Structure 1
């Protein structure tokens, strides 16, 4: 059993993650231009007095995941266990970013697991525990359901509108690498500009419900206003408790 704070060796395809299971690494995408947010890269946008990227990395660290790859252009970043890379060419899109993150983890075998996250998840501290201990609706509440792992390439959060949040999931590295390679043959420029679905849609994935909207991201000024208002409310509640 991997204890919290230790790097897990993953689980086999026909077994259930043990209590305290952790993915072997996290990939955090931070490569967007932030054109809808006034041109500020998303990772640098502040919510609750902290840049979004820092909030996600704090949540990754708090969960006990000791290794992370940031793909994009973060601010000055000096964190133990975190490396920074870039999709090629820059701004080639999130799928190219995922592939770049995988390339930065060449030592991990195909059976290993990686958590893939967007940098614009202001409630990453809720999303990550949901991925680690949440379960499909049919689970009995005992933790990560066996049926979520058996025969599956991973699992991801699905919001209350039924949208699959590709950048809020845990995936087996081998199938994800293969899916990215297959998708790269579809476009004239490899993965450049392709939607995440082009690769992730090839995987057999289980779904984790997100009834409280923890996976809501920040794409627009309105999203940012909501996220900042929620952070202020949370701060007040902590101060009053």
Structure 2
């Protein structure tokens, strides 16, 4: 359980770093390649190597990305969680390892185990290929189901994300009242009038709401 929480907390920070690289534009896609590999360690806490790749990363210095990620981890993880990171590698998206793994293991599951195989000349004894379902589901204009960390489930129409990772979304009420495709003419007029209202009014009356990315357990 502790190991799962450690991996989840580290993964969430990687997701947030990726969102920042997207300038908080919600594109509905995960980082192209996240590979987690257990590492031999003399620490009591298990250690893992993280290998990341994305076409956006190709345009930046790998060393800069690693330094930025380490700073994020250092500032947000517990001491044990931080020490669970054996190393971070940033790999070019066109490298044989990335291309072959993506070809051999199409990303359709959140976690895919890779066992005892040689890929692009590199032996992988055991690794986990990770696909962030949260990032994949987050797309402006998409209707989703959000499960909060406390188990509460929300119907939401994604609008945008700000630099504090606060997601603006239409509530279930907002979706029903403002985006009903079977609305009568009178209901369409009411919906148009509501859409012209400012965010404060829409939030106060339950049509619009905000949730921070850290409050979200899953999105589907």
- Name the TM-score, length of structure 1 as normaliser: 0.24
Q: Which has the higher Rg, Structure 1 or Structure 2?
A: 2
Instruction: Considering fraction of residues, name the structure with more strand.
Output: 2
